[in-house]
């Protein structure tokens, strides 16, 4: 269709030139020819620029897709570990506890063997509790059921003096981004409570998800290769996120993560 249109334009231009030459408008013919050349040049430039824009959009879409695959792979691995712990290690602990209970029925509870079995049952119970806590922490059910804000509030209740602020509703996010945000808060709060005491968590979103954890500790925190903050930064960078640390001597310490929403073209994230 474009070729037919170009042929029609060319025929029309030639007809105009022929009429101008026959009527003696030689200067007019020259100007008409120059105008056509300029028009064709601009048209070609426009097509080239449009092609570059389309290529750029395609590259952005491919980058977004690859980053979603990265955070999705992280989430798949977390779910696999959760399943293996629940279906494997936890079941073995349950079986061992039952067998120790049966054995305890065969011995005098006041004997050395009885006391040893009772202590072993107590230890197995503590191991079961710790394992369940670990499984819960790998991917909390509240994160799936209620979203990032409620999951962070639930997490904050396990610490002392942590305030969670979310001025505006967060958009609906890909599962991997939500999980990454949650585990960033978990690790940052652990550090804040360990070194800085009371903390504030701020959740906001625009074209990215922004999470800031601020504590009122003594400050002086730095990012050291191979340590906690360095690992957090590397995990965020894997899918285009960034980590910023501000920790002057005397405090406060602010750790801020920015994560791309990784929404597809046309997705707003808001229902």
DSSP assignment of 137-173, as one string? HHS-HHHHHH-HHHHHHHHHTTSSSEEEE-SSPPPP-
Tokens matching residue 241:
């996120």
**Residue 166 CA to its chain's centroid (Å):** 18
**Residue 195 CA to its chain's centroid (Å):** 26
Q: Model-level pTM?
A: 0.60
| pLDDT digit string, tens, across residues 202-218 | 999 988 999 999 998 88
CB contact at 8 A, 68 and 240: no
CA dist., res. 15 & res. 29, Å (int): 11
**Within 10 A of 211 (CB to CB), how many other CB atoms are there?**
24
Domain ranges of the chain: 2-65, 146-262
Strands 208-215 and 199-205: antiparallel
Evaluate whether the domain defined by 146-262 bears CATH number 3.40.50.300: no
Helices first, then strands: H and E counts in the chain: 8, 5
Closest by alpha carbon to 164, among 172, 156, 174, 175? 156
Tens-level pLDDT at each residue, the chain (271 residues): 555 555 555 545 455 545 444 555 455 545 555 555 555 555 565 555 555 555 655 565 565 565 556 656 656 665 666 666 656 777 777 888 888 888 888 888 888 888 888 888 888 888 877 777 676 666 677 888 889 999 999 999 988 899 999 999 998 888 888 888 998 999 999 888 887 778 999 999 988 999 999 998 888 889 888 888 888 898 888 888 899 999 999 889 999 999 988 655 445 444 4
DSSP 8-state assignment for residue 106: T
């Amino acid at each position: 269709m474009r070729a037919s249109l170009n042929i029609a334009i060319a025929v029309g231009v030639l007809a105009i030139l022929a009429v101008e030459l026959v009527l003696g408008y030689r200067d007019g013919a020259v100007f008409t020819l120059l105008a056509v050349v300029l028009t064709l040049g601009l048209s070609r430039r426009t097509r080239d620029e449009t092609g570059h824009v389309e290529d750029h959009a395609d590259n952005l879409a491919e980058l977004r897709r690859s980053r979603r695959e990265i955070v999705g792979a992280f989430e798949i691995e977390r779910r696999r570990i959760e399943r293996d712990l629940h279906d494997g290690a936890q079941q073995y602990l349950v079986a061992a506890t039952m067998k120790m209970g049966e054995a305890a029925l065969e011995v005098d509870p006041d004997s050395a063997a009885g006391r040893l079995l009772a202590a072993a049952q107590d230890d197995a119970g503590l191991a079961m509790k710790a394992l369940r806590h670990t499984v819960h922490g790998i991917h909390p059910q509240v994160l799936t059921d209620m979203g990032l804000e409620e999951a962070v509030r639930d997490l904050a209740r396990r610490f002392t003096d942590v305030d969670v602020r979310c001025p505006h509703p967060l958009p609906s996010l890909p599962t991997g981004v939500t999980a990454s945000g949650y585990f960033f808060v978990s690790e940052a709060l652990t550090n804040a409570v360990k070194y800085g005491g009371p903390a504030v968590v701020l959740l906001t979103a625009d074209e990215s998800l922004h999470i800031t954890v601020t504590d009122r500790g003594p400050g002086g925190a730095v990012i050291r290769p191979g340590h906690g903050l360095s690992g957090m930064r590397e995990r965020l960078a894997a899918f285009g996120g960034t980590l910023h640390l501000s920790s002057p001597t005397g405090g406060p310490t602010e750790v801020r993560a920015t994560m791309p929403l990784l929404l597809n073209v046309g997705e707003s994230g808001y229902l």
